[in-house]
Structure 1
């Protein structure tokens, strides 16, 4: 089963289900720790490492049916249904879950992604991580300095470096880079899943992002007829990292309504 970190509710409300948070490509549960603690005010929050990420098992496939199956296993082991929040790749996996096993999901939050195939490629970051000189590396600040040679954006570097295990000898990435590279067409794609999820679904996007275009809305509504749309001003694709407090507030209002 996927490695899962649980944040117990500070003041549990028996009328609210637990929340499951699903990170995006190259992420991990560690990226969501602060947000998970804040969302755990009235219900438990569970954050997973997806397959081939973090502490979760390695596998040869990164398909959305397989990732949705992983999430289903977690929910059924901890108690269904749950409210599910997924970002980017995690958002697609969460949509796949909701469309194929809707009884496991009460409400769905999809952060800055749509149920469509994209044409962009993310393998340039795999090349950057592979190129990082790990010899004699003992500090994250030094890793950041070295990674800056291939990744200009400091926020992206900080995000990637949360998946670097500096305690390993030698240091190593907590990512199955070979499989992620091989499966990239599936990750940026969409399996063409049909069906309808009748639960309320929030498509929460960054106002500066272009991942969820207006022309995708007909497709979204055909699969998720109770769709709601909201944008976070000043945020791009990594909206939860760029505007964390505003992100939390939007999610809280939607899930608790």
Structure 2
């Protein structure tokens, strides 16, 4: 699948993958700084952003999508970073194609299985009737019945677009709803990535825990784990300067 991506800057290639319900635009806030040092590839994963939709939606397919992108751009090796779902894609890619990854950064996700915990968000997204909704405020008001947090709603509404004069989701909501369990899958049992790996957790997040160190060591023996202070799961939005400085220090 030919993924949509944004390219900026110059220097060594750095590919960044967003999380569930996100898009390449999520990383534009820190792109300006990073693009002074790297050629950035901000990628829309399948069924997200402006990339194509598909009924096939799992980490094996998303890893192969990334390989196709690197091949098309004639990128032999890259530094690779992924957040949450994107971090799982990045880990799967590094295990399957270790020769294509120079350094790996995984933001606030571990190799283990995560139970489904997005039911309320999916209920809210599926509740929007675009035959009746004519403004973003109406969409936000409807979402607020399910999702009280304004910041989360604003993030989700970034995937709202217009098609033939009517609102629509950029994300492939039916497939994501049907196959949401795939997002929480653990890494496959085999494979190792021996290269430098940074797990970057949010200090206030519970996504990376002490019990995850065994899996990190098994799959990524060259890993380091750090926590970004005063940050939760959306560490790049909550503490962008700290994330950028930590990332640059590791990649150097």
The alignment's TM-score, normalised by the length of structure 1, stands at: 0.92
What's the secondary structure of 2:241's corresponding residue? Answer: helix
Q: Does 1:26 align with 2:21?
A: yes
Q: CA deviation at 1:124?
A: 2.1
**CA offset digits 1:124-147 (Å, max 9, x no partner):** 212101213443423x44533332
Aligned twin of 1:253: 249
Q: Any gaps of 5 or more consecutive residues in structure 2?
A: none
**CA offset digits 1:39-59 (Å, max 9, x no partner):** 111221001111011111111
C-alpha RMSD of matched pairs (Å) = 1.5
Q: Does 1:147 align with 2:143?
A: yes
Q: Give the Cα–Cα distance (whole angstroms) in 2 for the partners of residues 120 and 229 of structure 1.
A: 25
Q: Does 1:95 align with 2:91?
A: yes
Q: Any gaps of 5 or more consecutive residues in structure 1?
A: none
Aligned twin of 1:71: 66
Q: Give the Cα–Cα distance (whole angstroms) in 2 for the partners of residues 167 and 232 of structure 1.
A: 39
Aligned residue-pair number: 249
What's the secondary structure of 1:44's corresponding residue? Answer: strand
Q: Does 1:80 align with 2:76?
A: yes
Counterparts of 1:47-66 in structure 2, within 5 Å, are 47-66=42-61
Which shows bigger deviation, 165-174 or 147-156? 165-174
List structure 1 segments (4+ residues) > 4 angstroms apart after TM superposition.
Answer: none
Any conservation in 2 of the 1:23–1:50 contact (CA below 8 Å)?
yes
Any conservation in 2 of the 1:8–1:43 contact (CA below 8 Å)?
yes
Q: Give the Cα–Cα distance (whole angstroms) in 2 for the partners of residues 137 and 203 of structure 1.
A: 42
The alignment's TM-score, normalised by the length of structure 2, stands at: 0.94
